Structures are given as C-alpha cells and as structure tokens.
Amino acid sequence: MRVELLDFHLPEELIAQRPAATRDGARLLHLPAGGGLEDREVVDLPALLPPGALVVVNDTQVIPARLLGHREPTGGAVELLLLRRLEGPDERWSCLGRSSKALRPGTRLVLGEGAILAELEAPEGEGVWVARLRTASGEPLLGALDRVGHIPLPPYVERADEPEDRSRYQTVYAQHPGSAAAPTAGLHLSERILEELRGRGCEVVPVTLHVGLGTFRPVKVDDLDQHPMHEEWCEVPAATAEAVARARARGAPVVAIGTTVVRTLESSVDGGALVPGVRSTRLLIQPGYRFQVVDRLFTNFHLPRSTLLALVGAFGGLERVLGAYRHAVERRYRFFSYGDAMLLSGRG
C-alpha cells in the first residue's frame, strides 16, 4: 500500500513526554464492533471486555539498552543502542550506533564510564552493527547494563531518561529481559486492572516478543511492500496456545494487549492452529491481511506513516481507524509511548 495513506495531522504538543500520573490513569478511545466512538478511561477496560475473554500480554522486559561512551583511541563521543542478542556463547549484539565520525569494523568503544567495552565487527546496514561486548570487571553484561545503561526512551520523548522511567517504561508483568523498547500498550495495565480482569473470569496469558528494529524502524519508502522488516525473536508458550484453543472452543474473544502480541500470535499460526514455540518474525501486517487469532486489540496511538499504524488499520479498517485518530486529535488525546490508548474490535 502507499505509505502516504497512513499519514495524519498531529500537533506536536499532543506527543506525550511523560506517563499519566498513575499507571492506569490514561484515557481510552473505544471503537465498539457496532460502530461509533466512545471516550472512556483505561480503568474501564475490564468492563468493556466480555466475561471469559482471553487476554494475551507481552511479558518481555526492557533492558537499559542505551549506552553512552567514547571511541578508542580518539575519544570521540559515541552512542550504542543494543537491539538484539545474537545466538552463540559470546555477548554479540545487533546494535544501532551513532558517532561524531563514521564507524568502521574494528572500532573499539568504551561505554558506561568504562564498565562495558565493545568492538564493532560488521555493518548490517542503516546504522546497524554487529558488536562484541564484554564487561571490564567480568560481571554479567545485564548486571553492568542495569548499573550504567540508560532506559531507551524513543526519540520523540525529548528529555533524558529519569529514575521514574525504570518502572514506568516497563510493564508490571515483565519477565524476560531483551527489549530495546517497551510494548507500550501494556504500560497501562496495573495490578488493579489485572485483578479486575481475572475477577470477570478473563484468563491472562503471556507471549514474549523482544522489541527491536522490526517494530520501531521508520518507514522510508513510498510503497509499504518495499519496507524491510527486521527480524525479532518471539515465543508462544504451550500453555498460551492451549488457552487460545480453549477460548476458541467456548467462543470467547482473544484480546491482544498491543501490536507486538498481534505479531507474535499471527506469526505462530500453521494450518489454522496456534503453534507453540520459539521463532523469529518479520511479519508486516497491512490492510488486506486476514487475521487468524486476534479478535480485539488494545493499543496506543502510533506514529504517522508507520508499520504499527498499518497493522491497526488492517485490524480495524483503515478509514475507521484514521477517523478515530482525527477524533483523538480533536479531543486532545495524548499520543505515542507514554500517551493514551484505544480498544477496537476487528471488522468481522
């Protein structure tokens, strides 16, 4: 599809720079199956879902993946964003690199005030590098990251990360470290909301997708078919696949908390059934896609001309979704990672 069809006007002041005062304190725009728009609150979510619905969350954990430092021996400033750990015994990572001068294979980096050392091995294209990392003290890398790394807030949050971001840019059910960005819809779900969902007979089950370049890489082409989706690691546990089968059998809807859950579930279907296991996905969902697992979607408001907006438009109908976005702008909803949310049913 033409990427220009995913454009919309967004006043800059509607881009949320900080989360709501409380985790579940954001607004919620509801697009019910029968049509229309309802201005609600995130705390209304349990009441908007039928009793017995299956709610699927992404339990990935954001790591402090942004590292600041300098090049050796020149001392030039450098920034590294860890995207994805590569398979193997060593700490080899796919990373986004930024420097005052061009980076080259063999460049050595001193990061986190000397706590982490890195060497660039090979470019992967568009500023992405394979890098080998180690800690100066010999401690595990994730431990050093926790001390000296920065929370990788997206670039439209125009401030440095703060201590509060350690908890608010993380879901309450995060379990598996590995994401370079938060699965942002899940940021709204408080323990109170999870308890209310379970109290209504809703089962809450996890999948894991470590958010990397495939989710947040900007679209730079005119035709979405030409956009290169980067690989992301995901897993559907056997218990989750069984829960989806039970929901299907009793006619209960499968509710995805966020686009990463949608991509994980839809990437894991074979012969009409959800198949458990670990896999990599490059799935790009755009209008015309036929959804096989997900019936309802709880999600944030996404960037114009993005693959995430294409996914939501495919799920809810592009004109319907863009109309909802225009309504959200008029009603001064807050956009993007720390912004407000939508709940929508599929087109059928």
Q: Return contacts of 89-93, CB within 8 angstroms, 24+ apart.
A: 90/132, 91/132, 91/133, 91/134, 91/141, 92/121, 92/130, 92/131, 92/132, 92/133, 93/130, 93/131, 93/133
Kindly state the average pLDDT of the residues 299-325. Answer: 96
Domains detected in the chain:
3-62+166-345 (3.40.1780.10), 66-148 (2.40.10.240)
Kindly indicate the confidence band of residue 231, based on its pLDDT and cuts at 50, 70 and 90: confident
Residue-level pLDDT at 347 = 59
pLDDT at residue number 219:
85
In the three-class reduction of DSSP (H, G, I as helix; E, B as strand; rest coil), residue 19 is classed as: coil
- Across the range 234-241, mean pLDDT stands at 98
Query: Which tens digit of pLDDT belongs to each residue from 115-148?
Result: 999 999 999 888 899 999 999 999 999 999 999 9
The confidence score (pLDDT) of residue 88 equals: 85
**For residues 103-114, average pLDDT:** 96
Residue 80's contacts (CB-CB under 8 Å, 6 or more residues apart) are 66, 67, 69, 95, 96, 97, 98, 109, 111, 118, 131
Structure tokens at 326: 């225009």
Q: How high is the pLDDT of residue 300? A: 98
pLDDT (average), residues 32-41:
94
Per residue in 158-180, pLDDT (tens digit) is 999 999 999 999 999 999 999 99
Residue with the bigger pLDDT between 294 and 216: it is 294
User: Nearest CA to 27 among 243, 345, 343, 341?
Assistant: 341
Average pLDDT, the chain: 95
**Structure confidence at residue 348 (pLDDT):** 46
pLDDT tens sequence across 77-93: 999 999 999 988 889 99
Please check whether residue 46 is in contact with residue 53, taking contact to mean a CB–CB distance below 8 angstroms.
Answer: no
pLDDT of 233 above 90: yes
Q: What is the 3-state secondary structure (H, E, C) of 115-176?
A: CEEEEEEEEEECCEEEEEEEECCCCCHHHHHHHHCECCCCCCCCCCCCCCHHHHCCCCCCCE
- Per-residue pLDDT band for 228 (boundaries 50, 70, 90) equals confident
What the block records as the tokens of 166 is 């350690």
Evaluated on CA atoms 38, 43, 45, 46, the torsion sign reads: negative
**258, two tokens:** 């966020």
